[in-house]
């Protein structure tokens, strides 16, 4: 769940946040990933009141930027302070069940990403050792080669949110890493729209497969980049 509130923007509104989470809970949601920013105190409070579990996530990029003016410009200087502050601010909330050090970061595929992951994990555990540390990635759709950056990073984590993986690929990952837990961190966000749901009998037959039209209605689709 992104931190902005539609046309209200990024300013925090307790009422709008609670309304948003109530709608999601009515759909059956019982857990949320804060993509990809620290949650506000109002958001934490609403999740506590509604009984929604939280994966609190820090970054959408590390050193390797995704856009010209993103957080990658500040990552080297600020990331340790920022992730420790994120954990410190939310660690007393009973809704928080895990911490995420990043989502779909390109550095995971590079040798330079290994020491970054180690540092961020250490930063989190310097503040809280009671919850698992994970990350979300789209770079684990097959089992990584032994000793590769992806392999080294996954071995440091407690678990992994796999993005847009097939069920068979997750089974293969679990066979290689039996002590890690895996969960679907992100799926079909580009094929959803308000008020439109796939019927249960419409079976997903493979990675990124969606029967019918690809629908989307985010207000910032054409403005995001």
Q: Inform me whether the pLDDT recorded for 90 exceeds 80.
A: yes
Q: Is 101 within a domain?
A: yes
Residue 224 pLDDT: 40
Q: Which residue would you say has higher pLDDT here, 155 or 213?
A: 155
E-only strand ranges, 96-167:
96-103, 133-137, 159-163
Choosing from 104, 184, 201, 207, which is the catalytic residue? 104
Q: Determine the length of the chain.
A: 225
Specify the DSSP class assigned to residue 2: -
Lowest mean pLDDT among 32-41, 118-127, 166-175, 191-200: 191-200
CA angle 34, 11, 13 (to 5 degrees): 80
Q: Is 207 within a domain?
A: no
Measure CA 103 to chain center: 5
Q: Is 157 within a domain?
A: no
Residue 189 pLDDT: 54
- Distance, in Å, from the CA atom of 10 to the CA atom of 26, rounded to the nearest integer, reads 24
CB contact at 8 A, 156 and 118: yes
CB contact at 8 A, 105 and 64: yes
Q: Is 186 within a domain?
A: no
| Residue 18 CB-density burial (10 A; 0-12 exposed, 13-18 middle, 19+ buried) | middle
CB crowding 125-139: b at 16 or more within 10 Å, else e: eebbeebebbbbbbb
Q: Which residue would you say has higher pLDDT here, 47 or 218?
A: 47
Active site residue 186: yes
**Residue given tokens 């990952």 in the structure block:** 173
Choosing from 186, 201, 207, 224, which is the catalytic residue? 186
- Our CA dihedral for 25, 31, 36, 37, rounded to 10 degrees, sits at 80
Q: Which of 37-41, 84-88, 201-205, 213-217 tops mean pLDDT? A: 84-88
Query: Of 186, 187, 194, nearest to 210 (Cα)?
Result: 187
Enter the pTM of the model.
Answer: 0.85
pLDDT band at 9, cuts 50/70/90? Answer: confident
Q: Is 60 within a domain?
A: yes
Residue 215 pLDDT: 54
Active site residue 104: yes
Over range 119-139, report the average pLDDT: 98
Q: Is 45 within a domain?
A: yes
Backbone angles phi, psi at 51, to 5 degrees: 75, 35
Half-sphere exposure of 13 (CA within 13 A, CB side): 14
Q: Domain range holding 17?
A: 6-135
We report the CATH number of the domain holding residue 32 as 3.20.20.80
Q: Is 162 within a domain?
A: no
| Counted domains in the chain | 1
Q: Inform me whether the pLDDT recorded for 199 exceeds 80.
A: no
Residue 7 pLDDT: 82
Residue 107 pLDDT: 98
Residue 193 pLDDT: 57
Q: Is 194 within a domain?
A: no
Question: Tokens representing 44?
Answer: 């934490």
């Amino acid at each position: 769940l992104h931190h902005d509130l539609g046309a209200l923007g990024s300013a925090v509104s307790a009422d709008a946040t609670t309304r948003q989470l109530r709608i999601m809970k009515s759909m059956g949601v019982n857990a949320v990933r804060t993509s990809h920013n620290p949650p506000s105190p109002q958001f934490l409070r609403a999740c506590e009141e509604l009984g929604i579990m939280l994966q609190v996530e820090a970054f959408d990029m590390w050193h390797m930027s995704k856009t010209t003016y993103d957080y990658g410009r500040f990552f080297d200087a600020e990331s340790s302070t920022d992730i420790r502050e994120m954990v410190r601010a939310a660690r007393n909330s009973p809704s928080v069940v895990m911490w995420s050090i990043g989502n779909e970061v390109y550095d995971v595929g590079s040798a330079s990403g290994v020491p970054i992951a180690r540092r961020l994990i250490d930063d989190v555990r310097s503040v809280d050792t009671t919850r698992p540390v994970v990350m979300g990635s789209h770079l684990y759709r097959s089992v990584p080669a032994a000793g590769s950056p992806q392999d080294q990073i996954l071995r440091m984590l407690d678990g992994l949110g796999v993005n847009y993986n097939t069920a068979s690929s997750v089974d293969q990952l679990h066979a290689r890493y039996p002590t890690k837990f895996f969960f679907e961190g992100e799926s079909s966000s580009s094929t959803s729209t308000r008020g439109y749901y796939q019927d249960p009998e419409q079976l997903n037959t493979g990675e990124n497969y969606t029967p019918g039209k690809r629908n989307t209605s985010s207000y910032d689709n054409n403005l995001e980049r």
